[in-house]
Structure formats: C-alpha cells, structure tokens
Chain A
Amino acid sequence: QVHLQESGPGLLKPSATLSLTCVVSGYSINSGYNWGWIRQPPGKGLEWIGSLHHSGNTYFNPSLKSRVTMSMDTSKNQFSLRLTSVTAADTAIYYCARRPGIYVGGLDPWGPGTLVIVSS
C-alpha cells in the first residue's frame, strides 16, 4: 500500500521561504506517476500548487508559478516543494498526492497534510 507523509516547519515569518517534503513509502517515485502538492487555507477550498514527474516534467499553478520550485530525491524516495516570499495568504494545510497522469486518473493517495502558518 502506498503512503505519503508531509513534513514542514509549521510556523514561519512573512517573506521567508517555505520548504516542505513528502516522503513516499510502498512505491518508488522513480517508477512513474505524477507527484503533486495541493493546499487548503483554513475553512476554504482546495488549490492545486503543481506537480512533477521523475522525467523532469513539471506543471505549476499560474498564480503561484513565479514563487514555486519542486524537486525529487529518488534516493530518499521523496519530493519537495519550495515557496518563496510567503505571506499570510500562504497559511494553509499543505497536502501531497499522487496522480497517474496529467490528464487521467484521480489524486490517490493523499498524505494527511501539514499545517503551515505564516505569521510575524
């Protein structure tokens, strides 16, 4: 069974860079699939951040593209998200998830999520 687990700083100050990691167990991320990040501000809906494939293909939400970087560490079977110049608007639960392809399949499974609060 495939499991995803996010980890992150919890709390960071405005203008800082957010770094999150998603550790994958039960499946080698080098074997395929697209690996993505989604966030959800408290009490609000879901927002797609972006995804990457081991081939190097990446897709980012246009509204975040200028601040987002994603990378993959196949030796640790994990992938990461970096979001620069954070503000209070970036406060959210951040989830990682897997999807078979860009156009097909559902996001499955999801990690439990990690809450990130941006506050001075």
Chain B
Amino acid sequence: QSVLTQPPSVSAAPGQRVTISCSGSSSNIGNNYVSWYQQLPGTAPKVFIYDNNQRPSGIPDRFSGSKSGTSATLGITGLQTGDEADYYCGTWDTSLNTFVFGTGTKVTVL
C-alpha cells in the first residue's frame, strides 16, 4: 500500500484545466523533493516534473508542479487528448529510506 495518496481519476473537457493532488507526510513530501511521471498506455513512465516544480527540457509549460506542506499538486492547463494518461507522483521517504510512488491518477479528456 502506497504512502502517497492520489485521486483515482480526474477529467475535464479539451482546453480546460485539471489538477492532481498527492498527499503524504512529513517523512516524504514534507521534507523531500517531489517528481511527477506521465505514463501513456503501454509505455514506460516519463518524468514531467522534478524537484517540486522543475520541467525537463521538452515538457510544455502547460504542465506545472507545486508543493505545500505534506501535499503536492500537478496542474495541466489547455488539456489535450494527448494528455490522457496515468500520472504518478514520487518522492523519497526518509523513514522508510526508499523512494515511494503515489497511487496514480488517470486523466481523461472528455
């Protein structure tokens, strides 16, 4: 069972904005950097946000990350059909001394 909790699914119409929450604790999100991964069907995950709010080269600025306390959020604006995927948050857990992933959120474009 994951120590990071995400909503199972979110959805919105094309062009709209969605946010995905990732809830943890002081031993993980509260004191460590958060990264976010997009996983398209049948493919390996790909990092979209690292160190809470940094975008790797090539990731559009429609994607943004933020963190407050023991929660993190991924935002997607101008939603496109190509954004339909599973999204996972991840961070180091100091108590478990291991990397932990969130439960995953499926984004659906209506």
Residue pair B92, A103 in contact (C-beta under 8 Å)? yes
Number of A-B contacts (CB under 8 A): 70
B33 engages A104 (CB within 8 Å):
yes
Interface size on A, residues (CB 8 A): 26
Residue of B56, B88, B96 touching A108 (CB-CB under 8 A): B56
Known contacts A45-B103, A46-B88, A95-B44, A106 near B98 by CB under 8 Å: no
Residues of A within 8 A of B102 (CB): 45
Asked if A105 is at the interface (CB within 8 A of a chain B CB), the reply is yes
CB of B101 within 8 A of CB of A48, answer: yes
Number of residues of chain B lying within 8 A (CB) of chain A: 26
Contact A104 B51, CB 8 Å, known A45-B2, A48-B100, A62-B96: yes
Residues of A14-73 contacting chain B, CB below 8 A: 36, 38, 45-48, 50-51, 59-62
Q: Is B24 an interface residue (CB 8 A)?
A: no
Q: Which 6 residue pairs across A and B have the least CB separation, nearest first?
A: A106-B50, A106-B47, A106-B35, A48-B99, A110-B44, A46-B101
Residues of A within 8 A of B (CB): 36, 38, 45-48, 50-51, 59-62, 95, 99, 102-113
Contacts from B to A (Cβ < 8 Å): 2, 32-33, 35, 37, 43-47, 49-51, 56, 88, 90, 92, 96-104
